[in-house]
Amino acid sequence: MSLALLFPGQGSQRCGMLGELPGSAAAQAVLDEARAWLDDHGLPANLDDEAVLRDTTAAQIALLITGVACARTLGDDYALRPQVVAGHSVGAFAAAVCAGVLTLPEALAAVALRGELMSAACAHGEWGMAAVIGLPTRAVGRLADRLHTELWVANVNTATQTVLAGSLTALRTAAGAAQAAGAADFTMLDVVVASHCPVQSDTARRMAEHLSRLPRRIPSVRYLTNTGGRAVRTADAVLDDLAESVARPVQWYDATRLAPELGVTCAVEVLPGHVLTRLNAVNAPSVLSLSLSDNGFERTSTLVRRMRD
């Protein structure tokens, strides 16, 4: 059996999610280390409060902390250590920590910078993202090209689920056009920035400069990239992906379809949510896909062990 850990991105955050973490020594150690870093940098420790989570930076840091705490609990308390890691958007930073490419403080600093730069890039105007369900990605891309100069394909999640990023004006126009073209659904996401598109080009450049100063550590497991949906095993490839993906579409469909070819037989999505589990069930039906939100740590570990045995 080969295990993949999946780390969700912004949009999956929810109020109180840090409080949902288990009371394990591993999770507590992550929380203590993160709170010390937050205190040193003048950031609030109550990142998962409803009002605080509206801030892009706070939401992304909270997702990072949650992801790392879950991964370490699975490893330390349940002996479930992955052979492959994949993170959707900001979830990739937790994946990079799990792979040993970044330390938690390095990831916290990088994600804090990323959130600040993303917010600054969208400070003028109103921006957002929306999921289009029921149309092929190519059709959604043509729709975006035809409709508006401030509208781009941002995530390719499945063959028929694509996320658009752009101005709210462009997204409102896209909603009607997508439904007229036969889309089953058009849903605005819980984000106030446009990510994975040219709006964030300067963010990607600044992130690359920041990450270039970090030590290079060989990944301990395979890391699936956002930018290409491929498996990499070098620090440079991981760090390049972390920098570039903020301005390029997330190729989640390709990444999850590749996983079975790498021998992955089971995928566990860490807290919070189960969006990636549902996407994985569509993209890689041969893989047993489980979410900690739906199953908890005990049941998840039991199901994984049954498959292993």
List active site positions: 89, 196
DSSP letter string, 74-89: HHHHH----SEEEEST
Reference 226, options 150, 156, 127; nearest CA is 156
Yes or no: say if 222 and 83 are a contact pair by the CB < 8 Å rule: yes
How far is 31 from 181, CA to CA, in rounded Å?
47
Dihedral over Cα of 34, 37, 39, 41: its sign: negative
Q: How far apart (Å, rounded) are the C-alpha atoms in residues 1 and 66?
A: 25
Tokens of 219: 């990944």
CB 145 within 8 A of CB 99: no
Residue 241: enclosing H or E segment and its boundaries?
Answer: helix 235-244
216 in Cβ contact with 102 (< 8 Å): no
Q: Rounded distance, CA 282 to CA 158, Å? A: 7
Angle at 260 between CA 68 and CA 278, to 5 degrees: 60
Helix (H) or strand (E) holding 306: helix 292-308
C-alpha 240/C-alpha 262 separation (Å) is 22
CB-based contact 78:301 (threshold 8 Å): yes
Three-state SS letters, 139-164: HHHHHHHHHCCCEEEEEEEECCEEEE
Would you state the structure tokens that stand for residue 239, as one six-digit string? 């760090």
